[in-house]
Amino acid sequence: MLRRRTLRLGHRRKNLCRFHHTDREWRMTIHQLLPCLRHGDAIGNHTIEIQRILRKWGHDSRIFADDIHDDMRAFAKSYHRLKRRHLRDALLIYHFSVGSGLSEYVRALPNPTILIYHNITPPDFLKGYDEYIRQVLEKGRHELKLFISHCDLALGDSEFNRLELEEMGFQQTGVLPIILNFDKYSLAPDQTVLNRYQDGWRNIIFVGRLVPNKCQEDIIHAFYLYKTYINPKSRLFLIGLGGIERYDLMLEQFLRRLQLDDVYFTGKVTDNELAAYYAIADLLVCMSEHEGFSVPLVEAMHANIPILAYNAASIPYTLDGAGVLINHKRYEEIAEMMDLLIEDQTVRAQILRAQQRRLEYFQKPKLERILQTSIDHVIGTGRQA
């Protein structure tokens, strides 16, 4: 859904509309730009899914990035190779998630631009952990405000992000959720993970980078009480990369202080390994205090795993009545709720049914219509998807 007043694009709209000949032959150039493209990253995967959709519709669509990891070079080119001929009559989609020199480059272009905002972690979460990253986040939030007068439509990938854009002063906003390729979750689960951990123990997971805003220490605290007082035959898997040294060290010291076993930091995992962790999971627990969308919540819905999550940031918008939200971090109560969602089959079934209903919203045909409507709104064709 798009919000606020009609766009005024002037001559730029005319250039784009020359591509709109008939409803049966509708071709445009729509390129995407983003600061970083790396394997396994939700924003990168979203960008690739958008490109597949645009190409399916017959549009010329390429991806340009600043930092491209080696295993993603088949999908994108450096934005330094973006030539004038690529930009002629092109609509641009810029994925904003971090401060970057690419932002200034995009703002200087005359092309109509759709900004997709994936949120920036509030810098204060990094205080005391990593001053460099804190400053990068602060710079990114400043750069975002500069786009208020340099984009024609600002989309959040959640209602939480859209509201933040609106509060910042963006006049035309909407929501385009992360588009997931659910086919990748049909991959064969890694057999080593299955053989090692499908043994009757209860397996609790969280998927996400080890960063302060995701509050893995709160998951550990609740799990400690669950394992100590409710079910000793249980494990916790924290699935995701670390890298913020002081935060990693704090988590390790916390575990030692609790003398807690059976907590596993997996680091980066392959798609097959991730499929296996979802296959063995009895529950996904999220205590994050800041998310812009949270793809693992949708992945857990798809894997039919009940979700227990802290009610913060985008979480209630992504779940929208699915899963179980908690409003306070009372660890004893969280441990008891973990047990209820794992062991009470009636409650579990009820939660899973609600999650399956919510999952329908994230299916590709529905999101394709939102993308089409957003593009039509910018170019002013009024074309129906």
pLDDT, residue 59, reads 96
pLDDT, residue 259, reads 98
pLDDT, residue 184, reads 82
88-92: long-range contacts at Cβ-Cβ below 8 A with a sequence spacing of 24 or more?
A: 88/29, 89/15, 89/16, 89/18, 89/19, 89/28, 89/29, 90/28, 90/29, 90/30, 90/31, 91/16, 91/28, 91/29, 91/30, 91/31, 91/375, 91/378, 91/379, 92/30, 92/31, 92/32, 92/33
Q: What is the CATH number of the domain that holds 258?
A: 3.40.50.2000
Domain end, chosen from 123, 148, 176, is at 176
pLDDT, residue 10, reads 36
* Same structural domain, 221 and 273: yes
* Same structural domain, 280 and 333: yes
* Same structural domain, 169 and 34: yes
Mean pLDDT of 69-92: 89
Q: What letter represents residue 307's amino acid? A: I
* Same structural domain, 159 and 54: yes
* Same structural domain, 192 and 307: yes
- Report d(CA 375, CA 311) in Å as an integer: 32
Has residue 368 been placed in a domain? no
**What's the pLDDT band for 140 if we cut at 50, 70, 90?**
very high
* Same structural domain, 162 and 233: no
Q: How many independent structural domains does the chain possess?
A: 2
Domain end, chosen from 176, 200, 216, is at 176
- What b/e string do you get for 187-206 counting C-beta neighbours within 10 Å, with b at 16 or more? eebbeebbeebeeeebbbbb
Has residue 382 been placed in a domain? no
Mean pLDDT of 168-195: 95
Q: Per-residue pLDDT tens for 99-119?
A: 888 999 999 999 999 999 999
Least confident of 26-35, 55-64, 76-85: 76-85
> Is the Cα dihedral 356, 360, 362, 365 positive or negative?
positive
* Residue 384 pLDDT > 80: no
* Same structural domain, 90 and 236: no
* Same structural domain, 159 and 40: yes
* Residue 6 pLDDT > 70: no
* Same structural domain, 124 and 216: no
Question: Which whole-number Å values give the CA distances from 233 to 183, 193, 296, in the listed order?
Answer: 33, 17, 25
Q: Per-residue pLDDT tens for 273-284?
A: 999 999 999 999
Has residue 35 been placed in a domain? yes
- Report d(CA 294, CA 240) in Å as an integer: 13
- Report d(CA 376, CA 25) in Å as an integer: 15
Mean pLDDT of 186-205: 97
20-29, 176-185, 339-348 — which one is most confidently predicted on average?
Answer: 339-348
Domain end, chosen from 125, 155, 176, is at 176
Residue 236 sits in which domain range? 183-361
* Same structural domain, 10 and 132: yes
pLDDT, residue 1, reads 55
- Report d(CA 22, CA 365) in Å as an integer: 22
Span between the terminal Cα atoms of the chain, in Å? 14
pLDDT, residue 2, reads 57
